[in-house]
């Protein structure tokens, strides 16, 4: 039976899950906005982030929440490598080449993870795992609440970075007009590396949070990528506030669908939403001139 | 100040410039004129490093800059205002100006430059917090000129600044350029609008089909037979 | 109206005739004839394992990859082509089982059904930029699994079922797929040589320019989508028969990524690319497992996996793909051709000295 407390709980969980998607979508969106590049292997960076945090918390014995920082740094470094040695080579050539490189990266990351950590599901054990905040009949885990707080903190930091720092100014300028930005004396290659590293770092944090909340294996990357995409399209290309709103809506929609329709629909809802937005508000997609 | 010697350039396999040579002396206003498609934009893009030069040399204050990326060239004191009033539309006027001073690390210097730009264009000060896309065409032209002054350039290159502007605003722009020049900035003006640009230029070059055809003093060029016939229709 | 149709049919016929006559007089014709002869004769001398597990999949994946290649030639990249492979496979098998129609008709109707679904999907996404189309198609392959599972009572997709065969497995089935492959590849070749193909290439080259030259880009992209999904459905119907079994696993990303791999490795946008790529990929897939036991000595390095071979092979496949795209964006064949020309050039200069 559907109960009120059940629905409220579903909404709250939706918000918490949405936060993970927001990080992923924001990273994807920043990279797209500045570089006009789509990294289809972005979800695999999330997966790697989860494993890095897992190793940091088990092998190094770090607190799960400190492990997030390790994941963030490690995935950012991986991002720098990706930009430098793969995407930079195909940037500005045929768009299909970006898709091919992403596909190759998906194979590389998934199988590297299998080799290193095996096929079995893992979890990052958080010290607050068994703690729940109860409000009447509704209960929500501390880990989810911390997740939301971390995401809010990151989004504020991101906002300040974009508005107040020189590199943020350069990123915004490049996203609007890359040629003119170069004439301002901006070293666009540096901006690209920083942007990709930033997007990857966000995926790394998202992965660590994912690993604290859900069990994960080497194959979890693919679906979050589509979901992040649906969110970006929902919220509007290149817009960070759009990604935030889209992410929340998405998380809620997904959890509601599972609650009312059954678990089998969890992933299909992403596509249904995508199609709905494309049919109803195609300008959300083509409004931005990005090629 | 700037010496361009036998430079060839183009897009990919398509060569547009063929052994172009010219020079600009310090404190001069030099105008390069030519019809649409002559390679004027290609030439300035090559100078500032947006396009690679195939051969030849480009020297700024005696230093070879032909192989440098744009941001290094900007740091050396060359600034270009591209064709079509390329503002950053979804940024404020003030942010646009700050971008102009991107290569300058000293915050006080940036502040001074901003004050100077506001003195030249008071309207920009008034609309400082507005998004640049909400400015009128003339104001946008002031913004891009102001923005390029933010970097304290020694050489300012303008690509078709009069394109699409009302004659009265064109006059204002040219006035401003003369004033800027009097303050010690060397100017390279690339124009299709021949009469106006040659009237303020010390010297001029005519670029046709990727080659320099004629060279001469600004006003004297206006009485050149070829220019009279082809450009002025006299 | 009737006259117009008559005329267009006559035009098409004339075009095909011209193409065939022109082709039969070119030097290429003899190479193709030789290749066809080899492909027709070799199976007579191979074991039944090689025939059904190696040669037949090569031929079927040629159709599948060619369908993807056709789509890519119009500048559109699908990341969920498995959806159409699966729909073709399920539809053609279910029609035969549920309605009792002959398998060969089922195959054809199944392909048309795939094209109809392709039309519907295409309508929502042909205006999208390459990445979004890729994402939407990938998403569609996910939703296809959900729908087939949701209606398991009708589809039987979760557990899977045996597929009815058109002809007996072994040689007859090989020749059947071979004939379909030849027809499909030739049809795609003709499409690419026609005005349609010209429009596709124009769109791929520069969408904006094509639009300005009056090409209705959305229409042509949709046509490419429908044609491509038809051939993908055909490949799916044949594939389901070749493995004698169909199940939702056919929608897995592996099958979506397969044609990309094949086309990139063989040579994107070329006629022979899908053929060469299929041969290479299937050979790697079938024969490389032999080295798995040899790779097992690396096991101590990776204590968490029981078999080191498969993921290691896949990892290198991924690296290989990236390396090809970065260093040989026109495919292996073009790369080999270039390398050959380079070394020949060197040889010649050495001789001259």
Three-state SS letters, A2-40: CCHHHHHHHHHHHHHHHHHHHHHHHHHHHHHHHHCCCCC
**Structural domain that includes position B16:** 1-77+155-161+185-234
The predicted structure's pLDDT at residue C130: 63
> Of A111, A265, A270, which has the smallest distance from its Cβ to C315's Cβ?
A111
Give me the sign of the Cα torsion angle A111, A112, A113, A116.
positive
Put simply, whether C125 touches A (Cβ < 8 Å) is yes
pLDDT band of residue A169 (cuts 50, 70, 90) is very high
The predicted structure's pLDDT at residue C142: 81
Residues of chain C with pLDDT > 90: what percent?
20
Q: Inspect the interface and report whether the beta carbons of B99 and A181 lie closer than 8 Å.
A: yes
SS3 annotation, B74-143: HHCCEEEECCCCCCCCCCEHHHHHHHHCCCCCCHHHHHHHHHHHHHHCHHHHHCCCCEHHHCCHHHHHHH
CA distance A257 to chain B (A): 37
**Which is more confidently placed, B220 or B184?**
B184
**Residue C222: pLDDT over 70:** yes
DSSP-assigned beta bridge partners for residue B53? B9
CA nearest A95: which of C207, C199, C208, C130? C130
**Residue A282: pLDDT over 60:** no
Range picked from A152-166, C118-132, C274-288 for highest mean pLDDT: A152-166
Contacts of B157 in chain A (CB under 8 A): none
CA distance B227 to chain A (A): 32
- B136-158 average pLDDT score: 91
Q: Tell me: the pLDDT tens digits for C161-217?
A: 888 887 778 888 899 999 999 999 999 988 888 888 888 888 887 776 777 777 777
Q: Inspect the interface and report whether the beta carbons of A182 and B70 lie closer than 8 Å.
A: yes
The predicted structure's pLDDT at residue A281: 61
- C242-259 average pLDDT score: 88
| Distance (Å, whole) CA B74 – CA B93 | 21
Residues of chain C with pLDDT > 70: what percent?
91
Residue B122 inside a domain? The answer is: no
Q: Inspect the interface and report whether the beta carbons of B88 and A176 lie closer than 8 Å.
A: yes
pLDDT band of residue C83 (cuts 50, 70, 90) is very high
What ipTM does the predicted assembly reach?
0.88
Residues of chain B with pLDDT > 70: what percent?
99
Structure tokens given for C307:
């078999």
Closest alpha carbon within chain A to C260: A100
Q: Tell me: the pLDDT tens digits for A11-39?
A: 888 888 888 999 999 999 999 889 988 88
The predicted structure's pLDDT at residue C334: 67
- B11-18 average pLDDT score: 82
Q: Tell me: the pLDDT tens digits for A75-131?
A: 999 999 999 999 988 887 777 788 889 989 999 999 999 999 988 899 988 888 788
Helix ranges, B184-232 (H): 194-200, 218-221, 225-227
Query: Do C and A touch, counting CB pairs below 8 Å (3 needed)?
Result: yes
Tokens 């300005």, located at residue: C212
- B68-73 average pLDDT score: 92
Structure tokens given for A182:
């170069």
Q: How many domains does chain B have?
A: 1
Residue A287 inside a domain? The answer is: no
Tokens 């699908």, located at residue: C78
Query: Mean pLDDT in chain B?
Result: 88
The predicted structure's pLDDT at residue C24: 74
Listed in sequence order, the residues at least 6 apart from A253 whose beta carbon sits closer than 8 Å to its beta carbon are A14, A269, A273
Residue A1 inside a domain? The answer is: no
Q: Inspect the interface and report whether the beta carbons of B71 and A185 lie closer than 8 Å.
A: yes
Residue A168 inside a domain? The answer is: yes
Q: Tell me: the pLDDT tens digits for C16-45?
A: 788 777 777 777 777 788 888 888 888 888
- C332-345 average pLDDT score: 69
Contacts of A98 in chain C (CB under 8 A): 131
Site from B46, B85, B88, B145 to mutate, A interface, most A CB atoms within 10 angstroms: B88
Contacts of A188 in chain B (CB under 8 A): 71
CA nearest C240: which of C95, C32, C120, C27? C95
How many Cβ atoms sit within 10 Å of the Cβ of residue A194? 19
**Residue A285: pLDDT over 60:** no
The predicted structure's pLDDT at residue A286: 38
**Residue C112: pLDDT over 60:** yes
| Distance (Å, whole) CA C79 – CA C256 | 6
**Residue A284: pLDDT over 70:** no
Domain parsing of chain C, residue ranges: 1-45, 47-287, 308-353
> Of A169, A172, A182, which has the smallest distance from its Cβ to B71's Cβ?
A182
Tell me which long-range contacts C203-211 makes (C-beta under 8 A, separation of at least 24). Answer: C203/C74, C203/C75, C204/C72, C204/C73, C204/C74, C204/C75, C204/C269, C207/C75
Q: Inspect the interface and report whether the beta carbons of A177 and B86 lie closer than 8 Å.
A: yes
Put simply, whether B84 touches A (Cβ < 8 Å) is no
Query: Do B and C touch, counting CB pairs below 8 Å (3 needed)?
Result: no
> Of C305, C322, C329, which has the smallest distance from its Cβ to A105's Cβ?
C322
Give me the sign of the Cα torsion angle A237, A243, A249, A252.
positive
SS3 state at B225: helix
SS3 state at C265: helix
Q: Tell me: the pLDDT tens digits for B76-105?
A: 999 999 988 889 999 999 999 999 999 998
How many Cβ atoms sit within 10 Å of the Cβ of residue C66? 29
Q: Inspect the interface and report whether the beta carbons of A180 and B98 lie closer than 8 Å.
A: no
> Of C135, C147, C305, which has the smallest distance from its Cβ to A118's Cβ?
C305
Q: Tell me: the pLDDT tens digits for A231-253?
A: 887 777 777 888 888 888 888 88
- B20-36 average pLDDT score: 89
**Residue A197: pLDDT over 80:** yes
Rounded to the nearest 5°, which phi and psi values hold at B49? 90, 5
- C309-334 average pLDDT score: 80
| Distance (Å, whole) CA B80 – CA B42 | 13
Listed in sequence order, the residues at least 6 apart from C293 whose beta carbon sits closer than 8 Å to its beta carbon are C309
Put simply, whether B118 touches A (Cβ < 8 Å) is no
Residue B89 inside a domain? The answer is: no
CA nearest C183: which of C68, C54, C66? C66
pLDDT band of residue A230 (cuts 50, 70, 90) is confident
**Structural domain that includes position A155:** 12-220
SS3 state at A51: helix
**Which is more confidently placed, B234 or B66?**
B66
> Of C135, C317, C322, which has the smallest distance from its Cβ to A86's Cβ?
C322
B151 DSSP assignment: T
Q: How many domains does chain A have?
A: 1
- B65-86 average pLDDT score: 90
Give me the sign of the Cα torsion angle A123, A127, A130, A136.
negative
Residues of chain A with pLDDT > 90: what percent?
46
The predicted structure's pLDDT at residue C137: 85
pLDDT band of residue A289 (cuts 50, 70, 90) is very low
Residue A290 inside a domain? The answer is: no
How many Cβ atoms sit within 10 Å of the Cβ of residue B200? 17
Residue A165 inside a domain? The answer is: yes
| Distance (Å, whole) CA A246 – CA A230 | 8
**Residue A220: pLDDT over 50:** yes
Q: Tell me: the pLDDT tens digits for A37-82?
A: 888 899 999 999 999 999 999 988 888 899 999 999 999 999 999 9
pLDDT band of residue A291 (cuts 50, 70, 90) is very low
The predicted structure's pLDDT at residue B112: 92
The predicted structure's pLDDT at residue A288: 46
> Of C142, C150, C318, which has the smallest distance from its Cβ to A105's Cβ?
C318
Q: State the CATH number of the domain containing residue B193.
A: 3.40.50.300
**Residue B229: pLDDT over 60:** yes
The predicted structure's pLDDT at residue C1: 66
Q: Inspect the interface and report whether the beta carbons of A166 and B102 lie closer than 8 Å.
A: yes
Which run of H or E residues covers position C276?
A: helix C273-287
The predicted structure's pLDDT at residue C101: 87
B93-110 core/surface letters (b: 16 or more CB in 10 A; e: else): bbbbbbbbbbbbeeeeeb
Residue A241 inside a domain? The answer is: no
Tokens 């050396």, located at residue: B76
């Amino acid at each position: 039976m559907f109960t009120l407390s059940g629905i409220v709980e579903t909404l709250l969980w939706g918000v918490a899950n949405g936060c993970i998607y927001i990080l992923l979508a924001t990273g994807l969106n920043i990279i797209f906005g500045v570089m006009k590049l789509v990294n289809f292997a972005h979800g695999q960076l999330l997966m790697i982030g989860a494993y890095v945090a897992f190793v940091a918390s088990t092998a190094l014995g770090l607190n799960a929440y400190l492990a997030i920082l390790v994941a963030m740094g490690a995935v950012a470094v991986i991002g720098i490598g990706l930009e430098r040695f793969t995407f930079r080579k195909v940037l500005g050539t045929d768009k299909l080449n970006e898709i091919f490189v992403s596909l190759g990266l998906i194979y590389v990351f998934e199988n590297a993870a299998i080799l290193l950590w095996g096929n079995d599901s893992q979890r990052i054990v958080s010290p607050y795992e068994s703690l729940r905040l109860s409000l009447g009949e509704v209960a929500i885990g501390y880990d989810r609440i911390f997740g939301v707080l971390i995401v809010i903190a990151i989004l504020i930091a991101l906002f300040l970075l974009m508005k107040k720092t020189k590199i943020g100014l350069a990123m915004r300028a490049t996203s609007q007009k890359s040629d003119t930005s170069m004439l301002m004396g901006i070293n666009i290659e540096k901006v690209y590396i920083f942007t990709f590293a930033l997007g990857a770092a966000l995926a790394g944090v998202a992965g660590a949070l994912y690993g604290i909340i859900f069990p994960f294996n080497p194959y979890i990357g693919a679906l979050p990528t589509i979901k992040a995409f649906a969110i970006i399209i929902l919220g509007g290309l290149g817009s960070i506030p759009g990604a935030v709103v889209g992410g929340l809506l998405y998380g809620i929609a997904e959890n509601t669908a599972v609650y009312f329709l059954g678990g089998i629909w969890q992933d299909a809802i992403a596509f249904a939403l995508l199609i709905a937005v494309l049919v109803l508000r195609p300008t959300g997609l083509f409004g931005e001139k990005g090629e | 100040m700037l010496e361009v010697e036998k430079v060839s350039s183009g897009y990919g396999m398509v060569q547009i410039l063929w052994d172009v040579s010219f020079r600009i002396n310090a404190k001069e206003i030099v105008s390069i004129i030519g019809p649409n498609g002559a390679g004027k934009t290609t030439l300035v893009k090559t100078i500032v490093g947006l396009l690679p030069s195939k051969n030849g040399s480009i020297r700024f204050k005696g230093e070879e800059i032909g192989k440098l990326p744009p941001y290094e060239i900007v740091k050396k004191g060359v600034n270009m205002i591209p064709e079509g009033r390329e503002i950053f539309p979804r940024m404020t006027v003030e942010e646009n100006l700050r971008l102009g001073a991107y290569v300058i690390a000293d915050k006080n210097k940036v502040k001074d430059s901003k004050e100077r730009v506001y003195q030249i264009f008071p309207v920009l000060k008034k609309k400082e917090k507005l998004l640049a896309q909400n400015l009128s065409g003339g104001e946008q032209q002031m913004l891009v000129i102001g923005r390029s002054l933010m970097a304290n350039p020694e050489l300012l290159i303008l690509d078709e600044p009069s394109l699409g502007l009302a004659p009265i605003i064109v006059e204002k722009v040219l006035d401003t350029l003369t004033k800027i020049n009097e303050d010690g900035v060397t100017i390279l003006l690339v124009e299709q609008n021949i009469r106006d640009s040659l009237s303020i230029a010390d010297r001029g070059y005519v670029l046709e089909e990727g080659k320099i055809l004629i060279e001469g003093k600004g006003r004297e060029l206006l009485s050149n037979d070829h220019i009279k016939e082809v450009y002025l229709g006299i | 109206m009737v006259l117009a149709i008559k005329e267009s049919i006559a035009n098409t016929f004339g075009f095909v005739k011209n193409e065939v006559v022109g082709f039969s007089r070119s030097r290429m014709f003899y190479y193709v004839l030789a290749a066809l002869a080899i492909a027709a004769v070799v199976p007579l001398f191979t074991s039944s394992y090689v025939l059904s597990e190696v040669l037949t999949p090569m031929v079927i994946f040629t159709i599948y990859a060619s369908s993807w290649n056709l789509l890519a030639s119009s500048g559109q990249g699908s990341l969920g082509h498995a959806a159409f492979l699966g729909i073709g496979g399920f539809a053609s098998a279910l029609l035969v089982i549920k309605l009792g129609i002959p398998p060969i008709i089922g195959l054809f109707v199944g392909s048309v059904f795939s094209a109809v679904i392709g039309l519907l999907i295409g309508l929502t996404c042909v205006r999208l930029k390459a990445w979004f189309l890729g994402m939407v198609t990938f998403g569609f392959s996910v939703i296809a699994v959900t729908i087939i599972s949701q209606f398991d009572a009708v589809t039987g997709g979760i557990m899977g079922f045996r597929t009815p065969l058109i002809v007996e497995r072994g040689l007859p089935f090989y020749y059947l797929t071979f004939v379909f492959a030849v027809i499909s590849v030739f049809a795609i070749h003709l499409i690419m040589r026609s005005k349609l193909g010209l429009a596709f290439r124009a769109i791929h080259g520069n969408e904006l320019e094509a639009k300005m030259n009056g090409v209705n880009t959305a229409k042509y992209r949709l046509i490419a989508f429908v044609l491509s999904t038809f051939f993908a459905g055909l490949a799916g119907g044949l594939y389901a028969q070749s493995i004698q079994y169909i199940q939702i696993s056919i929608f897995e990303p592996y099958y979506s990524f397969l044609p990309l791999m094949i086309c990139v490795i063989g040579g994107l946008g070329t006629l022979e690319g899908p053929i060469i790529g299929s041969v290479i990929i299937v050979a790697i897939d079938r024969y490389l497992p032999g080295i798995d036991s040899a790779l097992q000595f690396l096991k101590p390095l990776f204590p968490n996996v029981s078999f080191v071979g498969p993921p290691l092979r896949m990892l290198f496949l991924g690296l290989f793909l990236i390396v090809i795209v970065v260093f040989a964006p026109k495919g292996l064949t073009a790369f080999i051709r270039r390398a050959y020309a380079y070394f020949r050039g060197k040889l010649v200069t050495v001789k001259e000295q």
